Amino acid sequence: MIATETPAPGADGAPAASTPRALALSAVAGVSAVLVILGVAIALFFNPAWVAFAQGRAAVDLWTGWDAATVRAVTDSVVIEVFLGPGTFAQAVGGVPVFTPAEAGHMADVRGVVLAFAVVVLVAIVALVAAWVGDRRRVAFWRGVGVGATILAVAVVVVGAFLALFFDVAFEIFHRIFFAAGSYTFDPRTDRLVQLFPETFWTETSIALAVVVLGISIVVALVARGRRRAAARRATA
């Protein structure tokens, strides 16, 4: 019988690659990297600049009957309120409320989801830094980041293919997960919320987001792979 020896921690207290501590650091780094990548990518799109561009492509002015300046003013106010509050979504045009109570309520729910995700991303950033500090050799850290980014890239391809074929189904599933049934169904003929953010807006934004997440994930995975190899060489030198 051939005995195998588990690599021991280094003299500097850094975890060896296969110790429970190293595996835990890799897991924390991997999950955190996924969340941070998603947070960065979403931030590139959930802002007034992108929203205005995508609304222009979706011809939102024709949907609403407003001029481009009014569309931009209302939308900028809505996007800013999602982040900064107060969350009432009482925008008005010519003294007429933009949203019905049901629409304003849905936007308040959206704000809750966005802020909750922002908190999760902030925690992930802290965890990523902690994993970096906790792994002096950086082997476990970069291994986790690389695995996480690779898994995310594969997931984006799979989910992206599903979205391309069944966007309406995916959109419905997403809303069922995060919002109460019946709270997100609106009529594009009369409801401003879906006129401001029509299906074309969400379709193109989803495609662009998927491309950006995939690109960032691939770059992070390649960088992590190179850094892990360099760290492993230093650890065995």
Is the CB of residue 41 less than 8 Å from the CB of residue 212?
yes
Q: What is the pLDDT of residues 57-116, one digit of tens each?
A: 999 988 898 999 999 999 999 999 999 999 999 999 999 999 999 999 999 999 999 999
Which residues 6+ apart lie within 8 Å of 152 measured at CB?
33, 34, 37, 38, 213, 217
Q: Which of 43, 174, 58 is nearest to 110 (CA)?
A: 174
State residue 151's pLDDT score.
96
pLDDT tens by residue, 150-180: 999 999 999 888 877 777 888 788 888 888 8
pLDDT at residue 12, rounded to an integer: 42
Ramachandran bin of 182, using left for φ above 0, alpha for ψ from -120 to 50, beta for the remaining angles: left
d(CA 122, CA 50): 22
First-residue to last-residue Cα distance in the chain: 30
Helix axis angle, 199-236 relative to 139-165, nearest 10°?
160
Tokens in use for 159?
A: 């989910």
Structure tokens belonging to residue 32:
């955190």
Q: What is the pLDDT of residues 11-45, one digit of tens each?
A: 444 455 568 888 899 999 999 999 999 999 999 99
Return the number of other C-beta atoms located less than 10 Å from residue 219's C-beta. Answer: 13
